[in-house]
Amino acid sequence: MHNITSPIAHHHGLDHRERLENMLADLLRLMAEQRGGSRSRVDVAAETLAGPGDSHAQSITQRDLDFCIGERETARLIELEAALKRLNEGTYGVCTVCGGPIMEARLDAMPETAHCMACQVDAEALNSATVKPSEPGRARPSTGTGRQSAVLGR
Q: Which CATH number fits domain 7-115: 1.10.10.10, 3.50.50.60, 1.20.120.910, 3.40.50.300?
A: 1.20.120.910
Q: Is the pLDDT of residue 153 over 50?
A: no
- Span(s) in the chain for CATH 1.20.120.910: 7-115
Pick the residue with more confidence: 150 or 40? 40
State the burial class of residue 64 (Cβ atoms within 10 Å of its Cβ: 0-12, 13-18, 19+): exposed
- For residue 132, CA distances in Å to 26, 59, 137 come to 34, 28, 11
pLDDT in tens, 99-108: 999 999 999 9
Residue range 118-147, pLDDT digits in tens: 999 999 999 888 765 554 544 444 444 433
Cα–Cα–Cα angle for 78, 79, 83, rounded to 5 degrees = 115
Q: Is 60 exceeded by the pLDDT of residue 81?
A: yes
The DSSP output letter for 142 is P
Backbone angles phi, psi at 101, to 5 degrees: -75, 145
